[in-house]
Amino acid sequence: MNFPDYENKRVIVTGASSGIGAAVAKALVDLGAEVHGAGRRKPEVDVASFQTLDLTDPASIEAAVSGIGGHVDALFNCAGAVPMLPAIEILQVNYLGTRLLTELVVANMSEGGAIVNVSSDGGYGWRKKRELLIDFVSQKTFSDGAAWYEKNEEAAGHAYSFGKEALNMWTMVQSATLITGGIRINTVSPGAVQTPMLEAIEDAFTSASIDPVTFPSGRRSTAEEQVGPILFLGSDSASYVNGADIAVDGGFWASLSVSGALWNE
């Protein structure tokens, strides 16, 4: 990969110790970026700094952003929660905590800044829940969002898919606001990616539950195959890409779209 504009750029990667986040952090270090990692465990790659981050805890989020400090050129939100955790924790990691961290980092960004949120093909259902999701993402605070979900859990559905749906919707909503300050925000939606997270899901649900997501490519992605689209969205090469959700799933979303499975009840 050749993204020369990352050289000497100051970037943050959450979830930098594993899976897609680790692959993104390594690629950015190799490209000459000043990479600041944040997550539960320190990454193996030699980052400029590391902050312990618990996305279920607003105090931890605030401390991590404060610890990094200074101007930020790009934020890569790669941290995510497995779908076997308690519902509220999944929602906090995959959306509420990610949103709060992003809002705090944006204060340290200026024109030319970029945010890339790693969503999931599990978040495509936002198209059927638009009004519900708009109500949810309009909740102002971390605690307001948690309270809303506890009240509306049945309508919202499983916290994993709903959190990713909310991340997609919020990204689109924010894209119209942040761009007025010259900051872009986009998402990528991976399909089945062979990472420690996927291995944990297999242990809980078996491989048969994952196999349908490999259609039509017939295989799983590597973490490294997700890096190029993510770095593209955060780079100057994507200077006019804003509010987009790029499917990096081997054609899974396309196959659902043409079959009508996404649109029919």
The rounded percent of the chain whose pLDDT value lies above 70 is 89
- Which entry of 6, 124, 149, 160 is annotated as an active-site residue? 160
Query: What mean pLDDT is predicted for residues 220-234?
Result: 92
**192-209: pLDDT as tens digits:** 666 666 565 555 455 555
Quote the pTM value.
Answer: 0.91
**73-111: pLDDT as tens digits:** 999 999 988 887 899 999 999 999 999 999 999 999 999
Contact 114, 183 (CB under 8 A): yes
- Is residue 6 annotated as part of the catalytic site, yes or no? no
- Phi/psi of residue 75, each to 5°? -125, 130
Q: Where are the alpha helices (DSSP H) in 157-206?
A: 159-178, 196-205
Strand segments, DSSP code E, in the chain are 10-14, 34-39, 49-52, 74-77, 114-118, 184-190, 245-248
Cα(53)–Cα(65) distance, integer angstroms: 9
Q: Which domains does the chain have, with CATH numbers?
A: 4-201+221-249 (3.40.50.720)
pLDDT of residue 263 exceeding 60: no
Query: Of the candidates 130, 236, 232, which has an alpha carbon nearest to the alpha carbon of residue 173?
Result: 130
- Average pLDDT value over all residues in the chain: 90
Q: Which residue has the tokens 């689109």?
A: 172
